[in-house]
């Protein structure tokens, strides 16, 4: 039976930042970790700080620094997202805190990483994924690269890499008895996500010319098409049996499957698929293809997604007030965030009050 809080008992001190760090700590909290979230006095609370309580701490105040040292003495993990050197100047660097807690896993979440020529410069998701080749791969022929919001760098290459590294370090500490320092860069994590593309390129199965590959809208059977109502469907019929079903659903002749893997045939095949899709609305195609292996699905907005029958059946989105929805984890979810004073009492550190 799955635990609703598989990380119960894991203690994390989070220095609140933006983007990947809050998302990573949200994931840890949703899985049951106890998180003490520290933020600057008067600062606004950004997105992704659900399911945990925050407290203001002035890191320029000696008493506050002593409080932080004291709390970290009982923690398993520290997560910070400042530029390299900031924590050291505050007296909260890895060497400083190793003397306080040698079992501490010190996770440093940045865009560029702690070293390298760009380590001290500013950047955002779009900049990090640009240097990895990942942004270039999201390009249609004759068009410009299209950033996938900040999902790829901040959350895929950043937060997920952060959580994976933390959990691996916890496992390692259980064997060695000592903590570690983790240098987590969005650049590094995103680069790792391109592993398959690098392998394909090395074996001649991926071209750097945009929109010419099977998975970058080069192939007409892996693309998005407009429907009669101006909405869209996504087609992903890569394998031959699925493409055969797609042709049947679209009402196209089976002979179109012959030679479909030849890029020379792709423009004509694309025209035939586009013309067929344009004859019906998005939802009509969704009804026709929904229970087949055509690999044709409607492209839904964020507002529409929770109402799709399969999304609803999985229970991965929970309704909040009005049209607001909160994603849930299917591997266990804890929504019992403890108040700061309760966390400190459990950690044996008194309360946050004077």
Active site residue 136: no
Distance from C-alpha of 34 to C-alpha of 77, rounded to nearest angstrom = 10
**Residues 6 or more apart in contact with residue 33 via CB below 8 angstroms:** 7, 8, 10, 11, 12, 77
**Catalytically annotated residue among 69, 96, 124, 136:** 124
* Ranges of H-type helices in 290-336: 309-314
Q: Is 25 exposed, middle or buried (0-12, 13-18, 19+ CB in 10 A)?
A: buried
Q: In the sheet that 296-298 helps form, which strands lie side by side, from edge to edge?
A: 222-226, 232-236, 296-298
Task: For residue 147, list its beta bridge partners.
Answer: none
Tell me, what DSSP letter sits at residue 269?
A: H
C-alpha triplet 124, 130, 132: angle, nearest 5°: 115
Active site residue 341: no
Sign of CA dihedral 335, 57, 120, 11: negative
**Catalytically annotated residue among 125, 154, 216, 223:** 154
Do residues 22 and 15 touch, judged by C-beta distance below 8 A?
Answer: no
Do residues 36 and 13 touch, judged by C-beta distance below 8 A?
Answer: yes
List active site positions. 124, 154
């Amino acid at each position: 039976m799955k635990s609703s809080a598989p990380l119960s008992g894991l203690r994390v001190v989070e220095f609140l930042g933006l983007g990947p760090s809050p998302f990573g700590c949200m994931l840890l909290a949703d899985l049951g970790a106890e998180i003490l979230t520290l933020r600057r006095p008067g600062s606004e609370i950004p997105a992704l700080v659900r399911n945990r309580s925050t407290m203001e701490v002035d890191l320029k105040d000696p008493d506050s620094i002593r409080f932080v040292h004291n709390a970290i003495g009982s923690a398993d993990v520290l997560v910070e997202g400042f530029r390299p050197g900031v924590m050291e100047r505050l007296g909260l660097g890895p060497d400083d805190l190793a003397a306080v807690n040698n079992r501490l896993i010190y996770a440093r979440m940045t865009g560029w990483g702690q070293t390298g020529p760009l380590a001290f410069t500013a950047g955002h998701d779009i900049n990090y994924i640009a240097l990895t080749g990942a942004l270039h791969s999201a390009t249609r022929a004759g068009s410009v690269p299209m950033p996938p919001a900040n999902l790829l760098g901040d959350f895929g290459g950043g937060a997920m890499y952060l959580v994976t590294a933390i959990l691996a370090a916890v496992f390692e500490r259980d064997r060695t008895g000592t903590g570690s320092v983790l240098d987590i860069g969005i650049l590094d994590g995103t680069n790792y996500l391109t592993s398959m593309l690098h392998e394909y390129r090395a074996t001649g199965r991926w071209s750097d010319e945009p929109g010419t590959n099977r998975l970058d809208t080069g192939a007409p059977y892996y693309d998005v098409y407009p429907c009669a109502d101006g909405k869209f469907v996504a087609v992903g019929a890569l394998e031959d049996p699925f493409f055969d079903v797609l042709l049947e659903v679209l009402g196209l002749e089976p002979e179109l499957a012959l030679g479909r893997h030849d890029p020379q045939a792709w423009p004509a095949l694309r025209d035939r698929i586009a013309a067929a899709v344009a004859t019906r609305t998005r939802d009509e195609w969704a009804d026709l293809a929904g229970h087949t292996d055509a690999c044709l699905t409607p492209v839904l907005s964020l507002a529409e997604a929770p109402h799709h029958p399969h999304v609803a059946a999985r229970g991965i989105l929970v309704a909040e007030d009005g049209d607001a929805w909160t994603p849930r984890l299917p591997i266990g979810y804890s929504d019992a965030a403890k108040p700061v004073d309760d966390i400190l009492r459990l950690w044996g550190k008194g309360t946050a009050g004077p």
